[in-house]
Amino acid sequence: MTATPVHATIIHTGGTRAYVAEGAEIVIPGQARPFVEKMIQAEHKLAPDALARQPKPAKILDVKDTLSLKDETVEINLINIPNPHADGMIIGHVAGPERGVGHGSDLAARPARPPRSRSATR
């Protein structure tokens, strides 16, 4: 089992801890490793999830440029592309003469903005 969040933002990494708990290999853009490791190692005391109840080490595979995943039925090429939205973005391409399908998320999104500070002037 393999999970591939396309880039390291909360809306694209939800469920990653559950996949780690199931023993899945997590395939990520290389630049996202610090974010993903911190998320996986975070304590979940108030509402323990499966990984908090039964901790296990994560199997993480970085995509630095390209990576091909294949089995007896399909080949999927993962490509780490530059993008202003996130530092590290994976697009997937299902290879083959009858397939040729690609998937990307937030490719045309504007650059991510830092969170607004909560000032004492409120």
pLDDT of residue 119: 53
pTM of the predicted model, to two decimals?
0.71
The pLDDT of residue 81: 84
- Percent of the chain surpassing pLDDT 70: 66
Tokens at 91, concatenated:
């697009």
Q: Which of 50-54, 85-89, 100-104 has the highest mean pLDDT?
A: 50-54
Amino acid at 3: A
4 contacts 78 by C-beta, under 8 angstroms? yes
Say if residue 65 is exposed, middle or buried (CB neighbours under 10 Å; 0-12, 13-18, 19+).
exposed
Interatomic CA distance for residues 98 and 91, integer angstroms: 19
- pLDDT by residue (tens digit) across 19-70? 899 999 988 888 889 988 998 998 888 999 999 999 999 999 999 999 998 8
Res 122: pLDDT: 45
Q: How many CA atoms lie within 13 A of 11 on its CB side?
A: 4
pLDDT for 35 equals 86
35-38: long-range contacts, CB 8 A cutoff, minimum separation 24: 35/8, 36/5, 36/8, 36/60
Domains and CATH numbers, the chain: 2-103 (3.60.15.10)
> Do the Cβ atoms of 9 and 30 come closer than 8 Å?
no
> Which pLDDT value is given to residue 68?
92
